[in-house]
């Protein structure tokens, strides 16, 4: 997925090549220009593991490379930072680290202390501007940092100790990389002299996270901290956003030093690969393809979240219907008449119909994920494909486009909008016949569900929540059936309302992500729509919600099963239950575990609802109650997420009927 670049990037004003930049792996990293410096990126000092960074030092350190690469410009400071230390006053490395965070504008961190990170926490207590929201598990901390970043657009910061503290961040880092979330993770490490000795709570976290971070650092010189932190934030937020890890040995945290805040960033390789602004000729070519098409469709993803205004204007000028990926929900209002809602495995029939029958697919800020495309050869097989993305590695990776632009979607949309405005009379775009064809599909195959007696359809619960919040809540989810229903039945109106683990599909994401969203948006309604399986994976974060007095609402769709796996069992394994029942087999008539008691243990009001007739009042009570609230909604386990295109299938394989009450 593409994303808008950081405002701190300065693009060259020289005309760019007519070709997109050569594909660079998303794991291509910037490296230090000085191999003699003791700080290391992706250090090779652990357990004799040879670092890939060392093998290319000779190439990166040639005179030509150094002299011809543009140096990055520092972000402009709007106001002078006032340090609590005198300029020539020595202070601990941990204090330098915390001040570096302050200078980046950090106001909140999600940090859990341990032996190797104690110095950082002590320094945090001396900061008057940074608030630590204490999670009850490091995974809760990294997911909360993600929720903060996803809902605000600002980088999320999490801090953990060495060893198991650091490894508990792994799922969150992988999640942030796959979903392009700006994240800076700081870990404590054993003292430098003990690295590689199997010291207590030592883990080579730089090696562990090499392939699941955009970049990482092992700090080996206290004087490098200001530069490394500035680089970490720049890398995390520029280009295609992602997670950056900074590993800081304890003796570095304790060492006294006088910081140099004027150090320049050293990212020549990274800066040389930054995309240039899109060429006018490419944008005019795309507009020409639009004017020649009869059945165009927009396929927009998470890369459009920072470009919703420009996307809205583009749709206004062209009248092209919009299908969104799971990550792109909210980039275009779901309740608009030109919205086709979500496409893909559990997307609407009419969105998938539009792609199947289109003659032009405008793929903006997307990566042609398998959950969208199904069988690649059959996906949009009738269409010319235009792919715009900021990550050159994504262009042509899964589907070869007819026209590609490697660049910022926001800039591309601005450029195309200008062309469309200037040529409106000449172009006279009219796709009314195509829209009418799609409206027939909307009427024929609406998103729907069935009701059985007094049982509560989970889709109805989300529909009611949408109605009672006027579609304005920030929604986080775990992973599974409830996640797909939340994507289908809540009508997102703006970007950053929808927070969900898309690429990684990490259960346990919803509750801590809601914490981060509530911290970043204290005046917003924040609701974690969760399943009983996902919820219990990070249930300990109820304590954080209570202590921090966060008004997080939890709509728990409780069907006592691992719902999505159970659905596949029903469809493809003759309903043979293979450890997907989450209740107590000895007491199947009882709800187990009792989620209300988890809430009670943390002093959070909670209620259970079992009948459809009582649901509206129960949700309204949840929303009206000040502070946090848990509503345990008991749902039948036989419900299936529909529509469904089986994995590797095509539009012709779409399933629109049936549930767990039927034998297959």
Active-site residue (options: 99, 102, 119, 138): 138
Q: Are strands 40-41 and 243-249 parallel, antiparallel or unpaired?
A: unpaired
Cα–Cα distance for residue pair 50/53, rounded to 1 Å: 9
Is residue 77 very low, low, confident or very high in pLDDT (cuts 50, 70, 90)? low
- 488 catalytic per annotation: no
Active-site residue (options: 81, 200, 452, 572): 200
Spatial contact of 348 and 342, defined as CB atoms under 8 Å apart? yes
pLDDT at 29 over 60: no
pLDDT at 370 over 70: yes
Which runs of E-coded beta strand occur in 481-587? 498-499, 526-531, 552-558
- 250 catalytic per annotation: yes
| Chain centre to alpha carbon of residue 590 | 36
Q: Are strands 552-558 and 498-499 parallel, antiparallel or unpaired?
A: unpaired
Cα–Cα distance for residue pair 647/664, rounded to 1 Å: 17
Phi-psi domain of 579 (left: phi exceeds 0; alpha: psi -120 through 50; beta: other): left
Q: Tell me the percentage of the chain whose pLDDT exceeds 90.
A: 87
Least trusted range by pLDDT, from 55-59, 129-133, 349-353, 435-439: 55-59
pLDDT for the residue 155: 98
Please give the CATH number for the structural domain made up of 280-445.
3.40.50.1220
pLDDT for the residue 375: 96
Task: Give the three-class secondary structure for 555.
Answer: strand
* Domain residue extents for the chain: 91-272, 280-445, 458-641
Is residue 80 very low, low, confident or very high in pLDDT (cuts 50, 70, 90)? confident
pLDDT at 12 over 60: no
Which has more pLDDT, 28 or 548? 548
- 201 catalytic per annotation: yes
Cα–Cα distance for residue pair 240/270, rounded to 1 Å: 12
- 310 catalytic per annotation: no
* Pick among 3.20.20.105, 1.10.10.60, 3.40.50.460, 3.40.50.970: CATH of 91-272: 3.40.50.970
> What tens digit of pLDDT does each residue of 430-447 get?
999 999 999 999 999 999
User: What average pLDDT does the segment 218-222 reach?
Assistant: 98
pLDDT at 125 over 60: yes
Cα–Cα distance for residue pair 300/362, rounded to 1 Å: 8
> What tens digit of pLDDT does each residue of 272-284 get?
999 999 999 999 9
* Pick among 3.40.50.2300, 1.10.10.10, 3.30.1050.10, 3.40.50.970: CATH of 458-641: 3.40.50.970
Is residue 44 very low, low, confident or very high in pLDDT (cuts 50, 70, 90)? very low
Which has more pLDDT, 57 or 113? 113
pLDDT at 47 over 70: no
Biggest CA–CA distance in the chain, Å, is: 77
Active-site residue (options: 102, 230, 233, 250): 250
For residue 491, the tally of other CB atoms under 10 A from its CB is 19
DSSP symbol at 307: G
Angle at 287 between CA 283 and CA 288, to 5 degrees: 115
Spatial contact of 44 and 50, defined as CB atoms under 8 Å apart? yes
Mean pLDDT estimate for the chain: 90
Active-site residue (options: 274, 327, 564, 622): 564
Cα–Cα distance for residue pair 231/74, rounded to 1 Å: 10
Exposure b/e, 185-223, CB count within 10 A at least 16 = b: bbbbbbebeebbeebebbbbbbbbbbebbbbbbbbbbbb
- 620 catalytic per annotation: no
pLDDT for the residue 79: 74
pLDDT for the residue 50: 31
- Backbone phi and psi for residue 191, each to the nearest 5 degrees, phi listed first: -55, 150
CA proximity to 409, closest of 480, 345, 331, 471:
331
Active-site residue (options: 11, 74, 201, 449): 201
């Amino acid at each position: 997925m593409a994303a808008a670049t950081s405002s701190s990037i300065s693009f060259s004003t020289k005309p760019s090549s007519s070709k997109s930049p050569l594909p660079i792996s998303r794991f291509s990293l910037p490296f230090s220009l000085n191999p003699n410096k003791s700080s290391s990126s992706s250090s090779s000092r652990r357990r004799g593991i040879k670092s890939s960074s060392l093998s290319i030092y000779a190439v990166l350190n040639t005179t030509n490379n150094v002299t011809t690469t543009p140096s990055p410009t520092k972000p402009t400071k709007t106001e002078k930072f006032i340090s609590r230390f005198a300029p020539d006053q020595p202070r601990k490395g941990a204090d330098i680290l915390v001040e570096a965070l302050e200078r980046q504008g950090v106001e909140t961190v999600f940090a859990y202390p341990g032996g190797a990170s104690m110095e950082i926490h002590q320094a945090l207590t001396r900061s008057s501007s940074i608030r630590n929201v204490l999670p009850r598990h490091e995974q809760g901390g990294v997911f909360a940092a993600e929720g903060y970043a996803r809902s605000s657009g600002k980088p999320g910061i999490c801090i953990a100790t060495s060893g198991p503290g650091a490894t508990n961040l792994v799922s969150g880092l992988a999640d942030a990389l796959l979903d392009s979330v700006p994240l800076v993770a700081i870990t404590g490490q054993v003292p430098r002299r003990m690295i590689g000795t199997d010291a207590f709570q030592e883990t080579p976290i730089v090696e562990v996270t090499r392939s699941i971070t955009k970049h990482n650092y092992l700090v080996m010189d206290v004087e490098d901290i200001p530069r490394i932190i500035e680089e970490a934030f720049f890398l995390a937020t520029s280009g295609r956003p992602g997670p950056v890890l900074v590993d800081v040995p304890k003796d570095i945290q304790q060492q006294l030093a006088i910081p140099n805040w004027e150090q320049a960033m050293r990212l020549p390789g990274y800066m040389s690969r930054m995309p240039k602004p899109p060429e006018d000729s490419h944008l005019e070519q795309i507009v020409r393809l639009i004017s020649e098409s009869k059945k165009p469709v927009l396929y927009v993803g998470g890369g459009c979240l920072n470009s919703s205004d420009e996307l809205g204007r583009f749709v206004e000028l062209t009248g092209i219907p919009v299908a969104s990926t799971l990550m792109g929900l909210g980039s275009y209002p779901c309740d608009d008449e030109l919205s086709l809602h979500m496409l893909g495995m559990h997307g609407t029939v009419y969105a998938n119909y539009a792609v199947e029958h289109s003659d032009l697919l405008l793929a903006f800020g997307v990566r042609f994920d398998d959950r969208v495309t199904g069988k690649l050869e059959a996906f949009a097989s009738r269409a010319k494909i235009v792919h715009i993305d900021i990550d050159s590695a994504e262009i042509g990776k899964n589907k070869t486009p007819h026209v590609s632009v490697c660049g910022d979607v926001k800039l591309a949309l601005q450029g195309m909008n200008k062309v469309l405005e200037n040529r409106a009379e000449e172009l006279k775009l009219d796709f009314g016949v195509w829209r009418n064809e799609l409206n027939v599909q909307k009427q024929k195959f609406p998103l729907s569900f069935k009701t059985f007696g007094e049982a509560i359809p989970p889709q109805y619960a989300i529909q009611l929540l949408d109605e009672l919040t006027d579609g304005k809540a920030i929604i986080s989810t775990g992973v599974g059936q409830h996640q797909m229903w939340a994507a289908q039945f809540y009508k997102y109106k703006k970007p950053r309302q929808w927070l969900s683990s898309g690429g990684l599909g990490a259960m346990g994401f919803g509750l801590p992500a809601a914490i981060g969203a509530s911290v970043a948006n204290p005046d917003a309604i924040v609701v974690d729509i969760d399943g009983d399986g996902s919820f219990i994976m990070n249930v300990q974060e109820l304590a954080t919600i209570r202590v921090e007095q966060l008004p997080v609402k939890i709509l728990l769709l409780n069907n006592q099963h691992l719902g999505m796996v159970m659905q596949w069992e029903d469809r493809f394994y003759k309903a043979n239950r293979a450890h997907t029942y989450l209740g107590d087999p000895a007491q199947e008539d009882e709800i187990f575990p009792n989620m209300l008691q988890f809430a009670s243990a943390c002093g959070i009001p909670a209620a259970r609802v079992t009948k459809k007739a009582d649901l509206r009042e129960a949700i309204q009570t949840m929303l009206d109650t000040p502070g946090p609230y848990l509503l345990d909604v008991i749902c039948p386990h036989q419900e299936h997420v529909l529509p469904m295109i089986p994995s590797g299938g095509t539009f012709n394989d779409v399933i629109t009927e049936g549930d767990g009450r039927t034998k297959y």
